[in-house]
Amino acid sequence: MRYFELFDVPVDYNVDLIKVNQQYLELQRVVHPDRFAGKGEREKLLAVQKTAEINDALAVLKHPVKRAEYMLGERGIDIRAEQQTLQDPMFLMQQMELREALEELPQSDDVEGAIEQFEQQVKTLDIEFSQQLAELLSSDSENDLHQAADNIRKLKFVYKLRDELARIEDSIFD
C-alpha cells in the first residue's frame, strides 16, 4: 500500500495535512470495524487490518521525519531502523554546542529567556533542514537522495533536542 496514494495526496514532503486528515476520516468511515459487526469473521478481520494500515499511514504522513524516511524508502534508501551517525564535522560541533547550551539552561540567570532563545535556535534549524529536505526529496539524483538521508538524520537530532528541552522545562517549572 502506498501511503500518499491511499490518502490521495501528491508525493511531496510538504504534504497538505488538512487533506490528509479529511481523507483519514473518510477512509475510517468506510472501513471501520463497526461497519462490519454483522459480517463474517473474515470481513471483520480484514476491516481491523485495513484500519490498522490506515492508522499507520496517517502516523507516517503526519510526522515530518517519518514521512521523509518513508519517501526515501519508497525510492530504495531505507534508513528507518538505522543507527548510523553523521560524519559532518560542522554539524557535530554545532550539536555539541547545542547540547552544552541545553545542559546549562537550568543554571541561567534568566531561565525563561534562555529557553526562549534556545527554542528559537532549534526552530531555525528545523526550518532550515526541512526546506533543504523538501528540495532534496524532489530530486531524482541519487546523490541528492543520500544528502536527504543526512538531512533526515539532522532533523532527528533537532526533534531530540526539542524533546530534551521539554523535559528540562517540565523539571524546572513543575
Q: What is the mean pLDDT of the chain?
A: 91
Say which residues have a Cβ less than 8 Å from residue 150's Cβ, sequence separation at least 6.
86, 88
For 3-62, CATH number out of 3.30.70.260, 3.40.50.1580, 1.10.4030.10, 1.10.287.110 equals 1.10.287.110
Where do you find CATH 1.20.1280 in the chain? 89-173
- What is the dotted CATH code of the domain comprising 89-173? 1.20.1280
Angle between helices 64-74 and 111-137 (to 10 degrees): 20
Task: Tell me: pLDDT of 160 over 90.
Answer: yes
Q: What share of the chain in percent tops pLDDT 70? A: 98
Encode pLDDT of 95-140 as tens digits. Answer: 999 999 999 999 999 999 999 999 999 999 999 999 999 999 999 9
Q: What is the pTM of this model?
A: 0.86
First to last CA, the chain: 44
Task: Tell me: pLDDT of 39 over 90.
Answer: no
The predicted pLDDT at position 85 comes to 67
Say which residues have a Cβ less than 8 Å from residue 104's Cβ, sequence separation at least 6.
114
Where do you find CATH 1.10.287.110 in the chain? 3-62
